[in-house]
Structure 1
Amino acid sequence: MYPSEGFIVNKQSTRTQNNRSKIKQLLFKPFYIGLVVLVLLGVTAVTFTLDQTQKLHLESGSALEVTCNAQGLNIEITSRNALRLVCPSDGTVPTPTARPPLAEDIIYVSTTGNDDWPGTLDQPLRTIQMGVDLASAGKTVYVREGTYYEQVIISTSGTSTSPITVSAYPGETPIIDGQYDLPSHNGDWGGCNNTVSPPTCFNYEHLVSIEGDYIVLDGFEIRHSLGRGVAVYKYNGSPTGAIIKNNNVHSNRDVGILMHEAKNVTIENNDISYNSNFATHHRGAGEMNWSAGAVSVRSDNIVYRGNTIHNNWGEGVITGNYAGSTNITIEDNVFYDNYALQIYVHRSHNVNVERNLVYCTDDSRFFRGSDRTFGLVVANEPPPEGFSDGLRTRDIDILNNIVTGCRQNFAVWGSDSAAEDYRIINMLVAHNTFVNAVSTSGPDQAENVLWTNYNYENVRFENNIIYQQDGIPINLLRDYPGLTLENNLWSSPPVFTAAGSGDIVDDPQLVYPNAPIVPGQVDAAWYKLQSSSPAIGAAEKTNGITNDFFGNSRGNNSDIGAHERQ
């Protein structure tokens, strides 16, 4: 406290044992308290007990000091009316536990709490649902460690400047667990795996449902949902401004994270894995049900950034699914071993896919059709009946990505039909590095780059590295109108329909292109350029691309591929 201000103690009971401590910490503000307990652990204990309000008065210029004979003193404000001083018994300097500030805008939840309590640090609530029900704009709901067996529906809204934050307590990771029993359902299953007994099924409900605007969900493990893990969705609504970050969303029956008719959502620094697990080892085309690690449906301005998305029994990310989305950014993520494929750009407008590391390994649990799955794919699949919304795949930038080890590293799928519905318009695929497509069926089934769609308008493939140790560097059966390939570096000659002006056929001299591909252990630095690479300074038409995969600036004489050597 400041000099001349009060600190309450009790004159009635004082016990001191071998006290080598003296008070040394200036307290920060006046406290008029009914109860204060100071415990100096290990070396000494001093207890002050009050039966009435008393005040310790410090004269101006004086101080209240505490020292201990260890190497450090830890001070913790434990609530509004208590603090704790710790003198460690082992003589080591304590590492203070990060504590949130005590404020009126914080609500606490703990597995040892009670929903009839006020939601303070000392008297927390018991359920996350009660915490979010009491929250309003600007509030933070801090959830203590432990496992919460509940469905959470966040229906209240924050504002753009005062969001509602639902967060793990600092340094802890609370778990929201559906036990494959929640969310409850009415028997209307989304799909079932009937190859096991009893069948494993999923519904279309959500373990954590964000229905309000401007909600932050931060720091949870979310698992074992009978339906989806997390959804930003409101029936007959369009929630906006959600941020889902630092979560581990895994082992849910259906999609890990869903955006449905949502706007302005950021999915950042999450680990998304083992979702859509209702049918892990039997997944015919009719049972796919369009599950994924994360998917947006009829949504706008969705950002996927810094996530690791892997081992999902479906796509890693789908930009449009059965109904398209607009303004999608997929950047700085790691994708691997997702069953269907890794990144699927589908019936969406204004999509930017940049600086992602994408790879496939020999983990046969996630083979598709007894073979490795696919990497980065663009398509205009016809939507199911009733979901046509007129969106086509257009205005797509695929830049500075590294893709390796998949059956097809990059592919454009579609039909030979000239129908307008299949047309892909305004797509730039530039400064990517595609390395070693792999197929368990043999080299002739490994297609590093594949173009099958007939219908293109202003589609360009340029300044890319295509390195293939064996197999097919590119499968392009004909010269398609509206598709331009030029200034690419091929490790072996491409088919004549893929050759373009400014091409280089040479070893790109990557650092370690044939490294073993092991889940979770692939290093993007393996695919940097060595100093003697013919890709250095060989790019043309940089198209305003100002940096590379690693954040290096690109100059006027830029390098081909995802790495700009400095």
Structure 2
Amino acid sequence: MDTLRLDCFKKMFLLGIIMLSYGVLSACSKKTSLAGSDNQDGQASGKNIYVAVNGSDSNNGTLEAPVSTIQKGLELVNPGYTVFVRGGTYKEKVSFSKSGRKDKVITLKPYQGEKVIISGEGLSVSGNEALVTVNNVNFIVIYGFDICNFKTTSAWVNVDGIVVKGGSTNISIKKNRVFNIENNATAELGRSGHGIHIIGNTEVALTKILVEENEIFDCNTGYSENLTVNGYVDGFEVRKNKVYKGENIGIVAAGGYAANSNPAYNYVRNGIIADNEIFNIDGRTGPIPTYKDHNGAIGIYIDGARNILIERNLVRDCGRGIGIVSETDNFPTQECVVRNNLVYNCSLAGIYLGGYIGYTGGGTNRCYVVNNTIFQNSKDLGYSNEVEGEIRLTENCNDNTIVNNIIYPRSDRSVFINKQVTGGSNNIINSNLYYSNGLSIWRWNNIPYTDFNAWKAAYGGDEVSLFGTDPLFVNIATYDFRLNPTSPAKNTGAVISAAINGTTDMEAKARIVNNLISRGAYQ
């Protein structure tokens, strides 16, 4: 372990910065979870307003005399009110116009045990529109709806299920199902939509945003994403969501897009993306494929954002698994930690770092990729008919650490690490476990090596990684990647710190036990 300790010693200054950042993130996490703290589960607080399909907007909104539209119910609220919506389908666009307070949030939720659908069926879309809009308001909870069937065939409009914008704070979006949000324009360009869209579009940050336990599926988002956090967002949590059967990227935290006119504000910072499940994301679907010949749709995409923690997510059967990359000049992805995730069966790379080749000056700096299990990705060849590999590095990767991962490629691809370009510096790779039941390939500065010792000499390190030893997963056939007690990955990893390695593994067990840590996502 001496080599790894020396490598990590060289980065103590960076580690201090990262630990400080995650101290901020920890505080952010606690604050974010307070959005609607006395009303997270939709319990009534203060006065109630009732909505029913057989009500009338001339009523006063009591249980006996409900109003007929959700919008009217929201117009009747004050801080501390709950709008209870009786079962049925409501074909309307809904917008919050009033704020709650810290001790008196405004909650919108279905009546006890009843299913409520907010539907866009038959509604027009003009410009940028959502079925549910949260704009320049605070202390709001949206809980437990089906939000669906909002569609357009017009190019250059944006269609959203839920949008949060305008400097809103303390917003909780929880246990909703968002589906069939679709831009089906026949033009190849100008197709955009989002299931849930968090956009910091002002010089006041969106902060304390919680998106938790939602399902987003069957959305045609064009060149946009299913769950988007973009622009000036400072402090958010995206937890325990399921995103699947989507046309493009699953979850994104972004910078450098056209969200905010001020470059200093135009990137997401200080967020957590944890315990989500993302699968069957394929850019070759939709009315006009976003990716015609190759599926490049990334499950979790950190693009030009900073200080983002990505942990304990399951990403499978996507275009690429997890990307900490940059597609925009002057907006590198920085100080992010990707840890304790499970990534398998993706079309191209499992985990991807760097700027796009020949396209952008952005890159990936001072990030950690630690304790992930990366299994049999690169099912297909990449855009230049190359094997992208389980971990791929491209333009402008600097000061990144790739440690304690189990890397297990397909036998017909067999690329563990693929640094596809020259350039970049001080990237530490060590203490991983490499196993293949076919060929074994490492590519460094676009030169392939099939011998482990030749790879170590070319890279100039990687002395304590394990090669050629089966990690002994519990059951590959059922994708059970827990470790058997005799696994060579068990308790043989490198402990950096709890701030970097994390405190819990993929199944929420203690990550570091008696100062020992296993390689891969499971302790």
- TM-score tier, shorter chain, comes to 0.7 to 0.9
Query: Is residue 410 of structure 1 aligned with residue 334 of structure 2?
Result: no
Is 1:431 aligned to 2:363, yes or no? no
What is the letter of the counterpart of residue 432 of structure 2? N
Letter paired with 1:307: N
Shift of 1:243: 0.3
Q: Is the 8 A contact 2:52 2:69 kept in 1?
A: yes
Query: Counterpart in 2 of 1:170?
Result: 112
Tell me, yes or no, if the aligned pair for 1:99 and 1:170 is still in contact at 8 Å.
no
Q: Which residue of 1 aligns with 2:160?
A: 228
Contact 1:396 1:426 in 2 (8 A): yes
What residue is the counterpart of 1:240 in the other structure? 169
Provide the identity percentage. 27
Alignment correspondent of 1:537: 491
* 1:327 counterpart residue number: 270
Work out which of the residue numbers 503, 507, 520 in structure 1 matches 2:470. 507
Higher RCO structure, 1 or 2 (CA under 8 Å, sep 6+)? 2
Which amino acid counterpart does residue 276 of structure 1 have in structure 2? Answer: N
1:378 to partner: Cα distance: 1.5
1:358 aligns with 2:301: no
- SS of residue in 2 equivalent to 1:408: coil
Q: Distance in 2 between matches of 1:541 and 1:134?
A: 55
Distance 2:219 2:356 in 1: 30
Q: In structure 2, do the counterparts of structure 1 residues 474 and 126 end up closer, same or farther at CA, with 3 Å as the change threshold? A: same
The one-letter code sitting in structure 1 at the alignment partner of 2:401 is: R
Q: Hey, which bits of structure 1, 4+ residues long, moved more than 4 A? A: 98-101, 415-419, 440-444, 477-480
Q: Measured at CA, do residues 334 and 291 of structure 1 come closer, stay the same or move farther in structure 2, by a change above 3 Å?
A: closer
- Using the TM superposition, give the Cα deviation of residue 292 of structure 1 relative to its aligned residue in structure 2, in angstroms: 3.1
1:132 counterpart SS class: helix
Tell me by how many angstroms 1:473 deviates.
2.3
* Alignment match of 1:464 (pick from 405, 409, 430): 405
Q: Deviations over 1:488-519 (max 9, x none)?
A: 0000455215661210011111122244xxxx
Instruction: Give unmatched runs, 5+ long, in structure 1.
Output: 1-97, 186-202, 278-287, 361-371, 384-389, 516-522
| Within-5 A mapping of 1:265-344 | 265-276=209-220, 288-320=222-254, 322=257, 323-339=266-282, 340-344=297-301
Match of 2:47 among 94, 105, 111: 105
Shift of the alpha carbon at 1:295? 3.4
**Structure with a larger share of its residues in helix:** 2
Letter of the 2:508 partner, please give it.
G
For 1:345 and 1:213, the matched residues in 2 are separated by 26
Give the superposition deviation at 1:438. 4.1
What does residue 520 of structure 2 align with? 561
Q: Which has the higher strand share?
A: 2
Output aligned runs, 1:88-167, within 5 Å: 105-167=47-109
The 3 A distance-change label for structure 1 pair 513 and 167 is same
| CA displacement 1:124-148 (0-9 Å, x = unmatched) | 1110001111111110001111000
Letter in 2 for 1:210: V
- Asked whether the equivalents of residues 109 and 128 of structure 1 are also in contact (C-alpha less than 8 Å), the reply is yes
Question: Which of 289, 301, 324 is the aligned partner of 1:378?
Answer: 324
Hey, what's the Cα distance between the residues in 2 that align with 1:114 and 1:358? 46
Counterpart residue identity of residue 371, structure 2: H
Q: Distance in 1 between matches of 2:356 and 2:123?
A: 42
Given that residues 427 and 459 in structure 1 are in contact (C-alpha distance below 8 angstroms), is that contact kept between their aligned partners in structure 2?
A: yes
Q: Contact (CA 8 Å) 1:439, 1:446: kept in 2 or not?
A: no
Secondary structure of 2:407's aligned partner = strand
| Alpha-carbon separation, structure 1, partners of 2:356 and 2:208 | 33
* One-letter code aligned to 1:313: E
C-alpha distance in 2 between matches for 1:136 and 1:174: 22
Rg comparison, structure with higher value: 1
Query: Could you say what secondary structure the match of 2:350 adopts?
Result: strand
Pairwise CA distance, 1:99: 12
Residue-by-residue CA offset, 1:1-45 (whole Å, 9 max, x unaligned): xxxxxxxxxxxxxxxxxxxxxxxxxxxxxxxxxxxxxxxxxxxxx
In structure 2, distance between residues paired with 1:401 and 1:104: 41
Checking the alignment, whether the CA contact within 8 Å between 1:345 and 1:377 is kept in structure 2 is: yes
Q: Deviation at 1:168?
A: 1.2
Q: Could you tell me how far 1:331 is from its partner in structure 2?
A: 0.2
| TM-superposition CA deviations, 1:56-87 (whole Å, max 9, x none) | xxxxxxxxxxxxxxxxxxxxxxxxxxxxxxxx
Unaligned runs of 5+ in 2: 1-40, 152-158, 183-192, 201-205, 258-265, 283-296, 443-454
Query: How many correspondences in the alignment?
Result: 407
In 1, Cα distance between equivalents of 2:362 and 2:405: 25
1:431-481 Cα deviation digits (max 9, x unpaired): 11001114245997362111112341x210001100124112222246841
- Secondary structure of the equivalent of 2:250? strand
- State yes or no: 1:451 paired with 2:417: no
1:255 is matched with which residue? 194
Give the counterpart letter for 2:170 in structure 1.
Answer: G
CA distance in 2, matches of 1:258, 1:445: 33
Contact 1:435 1:513 survives alignment (8 Å) = no
In the aligned structure 1, how far is the partner of 2:148 from the partner of 2:170?
24
Q: Secondary structure at the match of 1:445?
A: coil
Q: Cα distance, 1:256 vs. partner?
A: 0.5
> Does the CA-based 8 Å contact 1:418-1:455 persist in structure 2?
no
Q: So what's the TM-score if we normalise by structure 2?
A: 0.73
Which of these residues, 219, 224, 228, is aligned with residue 144 of structure 2?
219
Matched to 1:538, the amino acid is T
Instruction: Quote the offset at 1:423 in angstroms.
Output: 3.9
Contact 1:298 1:320 in 2 (8 A): no
Q: 2:14 maps to what in 1?
A: none
* Residue 272 of structure 1: how far off its partner (Å): 0.8
Give the residue type in structure 1 aligned to 2:405.
N
3-state SS, counterpart of residue 422 of structure 1: coil
Question: What is the match of residue 190 of structure 2?
Answer: none
Cα 1:180–1:292, aligned 2, differ >3 Å: closer, same or farther? Answer: farther
Matched, 1:476 2:427: no
- Give the Cα separation in 1 of the matches to 2:280 and 2:407: 21
- Letter matched to residue 559 of structure 1: S
Question: 1:562 Cα deviation (Å)?
Answer: 0.6
Structure 1 equivalent of residue 505 of structure 2: 548
Q: Distance in 2 between matches of 1:413 and 1:534?
A: 31
Q: Contact 2:92/2:123 (CA < 8 Å) preserved in 1?
A: no
Counterpart-to-counterpart distance in 2, 1:467 and 1:267: 32
Q: C-alpha separation between the residues in 1 aligned to 2:114 and 2:403?
A: 47
Q: Does 1:179 align with 2:121?
A: yes
1:225 maps to amino acid = F
Amino acid at match of 2:163: A
Is contact 1:223-1:229 (8 Å) kept?
Answer: yes
Aligned-partner residue type, residue 504 of structure 1? L
| Cα distance in 1 for residues equivalent to 2:489 and 2:342 | 15
For 1:447, what is the secondary structure of its paired residue? coil
Task: State the TM-score, normalized to the length of structure 1.
Answer: 0.68
Contact 1:435 1:467 in 2 (8 A): yes
